[in-house]
């Protein structure tokens, strides 16, 4: 496997979604190619950092209101069902 | 999946605690998806509420061929698309030029070796740069990146939410990760 092929399969490699032979080929290339190893490390770390930095939260007060509205809708639905 | 089935059965049996579990598990994730699509906090909160209300209304009809979480994401995604359609912007997320089968040779834009990536997270500027990089992704790639790499859906689940093939999803994800 050369660098161009490694990049082509990089995403599937990260997701462990390559067949066994391609995975072995990729590992052999990575063992000898510092540039591709850096690309792999950087991409994996970027994904991890994005996950940690980007998972947003509904502001607490709004969260309470939203959940209360849902509880009201749930109760109303249940009452109608049981009438 | 077992937990999903348990919640589903309890919702159908009008168990209010199940609603709480479902809300805790998915509200912030749906909010993240909506905010990254609509870029509007109030509208994104509306999407979360709309999604759960639709689940409550339709829980009896849900046939459980897909998992409960995927159903929630699909409702939220479609609600976002409806809103964008009202604003004349829905085509942003249906750009089929992102679906070419072949993955071209592209390199990451930031080609930097990070020895201390954790430092990025306590650094406000680092976080802002990550946010900016995600914001700058083309819409069809950004939504795939959010579902797969932020909300951690499987490829098959994300493809089902978006109504595209797993192959198209993989191509979009590959491009998003390397941009």
Nearest Cα residue in chain A from B101: A8
d(CA A54, CA B153): 15
d(CA B39, CA B53): 22
Note the pLDDT tens digit of each residue in A22-38. Answer: 999 999 999 999 999 99
Distances from the Cα of B65 to the Cα of A10, B5, B6, B7, angstroms: 31, 11, 15, 15
Q: Which of A43, A59, A81 lies nearest to residue B177, judging by beta carbons?
A: A43
d(CA B98, CA B141): 8
How close is the nearest chain B Cα to the Cα of A51, in Å? 5
Note the pLDDT tens digit of each residue in B93-126. Answer: 665 555 555 555 565 555 554 445 555 555 677 7
Note the pLDDT tens digit of each residue in B162-176. Answer: 999 999 999 999 999
Q: Which of B29, B108, B127 lies nearest to residue A53, judging by beta carbons?
A: B127
Contact B170 A52 (CB under 8 A): no
Q: Is the ipTM of this complex over 0.90?
A: no
Candidates B65, B4, B76, B69; CA nearest to B38 is B76
- Which of chain B's residues have a Cβ under 8 Å away from the Cβ of A14? 177
């Amino acid at each position: 496997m050369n660098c161009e092929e490694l990049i082509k399969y990089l995403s599937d490699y990260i997701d462990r979604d390559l067949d066994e032979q391609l995975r072995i080929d990729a590992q052999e290339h990575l063992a000898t190619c510092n540039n591709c190893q850096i690309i792999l490390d950087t991409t994996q770390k970027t994904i991890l950092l994005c996950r940690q930095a980007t998972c947003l939260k509904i502001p607490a007060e709004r969260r309470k209101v939203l959940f209360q509205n849902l509880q009201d809708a749930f109760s109303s639905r249940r009452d109608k069902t049981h009438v | 999946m077992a937990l999903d089935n348990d919640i589903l059965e309890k919702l159908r049996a009008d168990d209010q605690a199940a609603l709480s579990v479902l809300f805790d598990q998915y509200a912030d994730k749906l909010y993240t998806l909506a905010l990254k699509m609509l870029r509007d906090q109030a509208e994104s909160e509306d999407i979360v509420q709309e999604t759960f209300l639709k689940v409550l209304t339709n829980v009896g009809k849900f046939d459980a061929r897909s998992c409960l979480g995927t159903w929630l994401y699909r409702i939220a995604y479609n609600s976002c698309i409806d809103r964008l359609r009202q604003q004349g912007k829905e085509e942003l997320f249906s750009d089929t030029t992102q679906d070419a089968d072949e993955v071209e040779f592209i390199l990451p834009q930031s080609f930097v070796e990070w020895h201390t990536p954790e430092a990025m997270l306590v650094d406000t500027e680092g976080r802002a740069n990550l946010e900016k990089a995600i914001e700058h992704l083309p819409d069809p790639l950004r939504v795939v990146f959010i579902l797969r790499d932020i909300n951690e859906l499987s490829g098959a689940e994300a493809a089902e939410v978006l109504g595209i093939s797993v192959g198209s999803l993989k191509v979009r994800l590959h491009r998003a990760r390397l941009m």
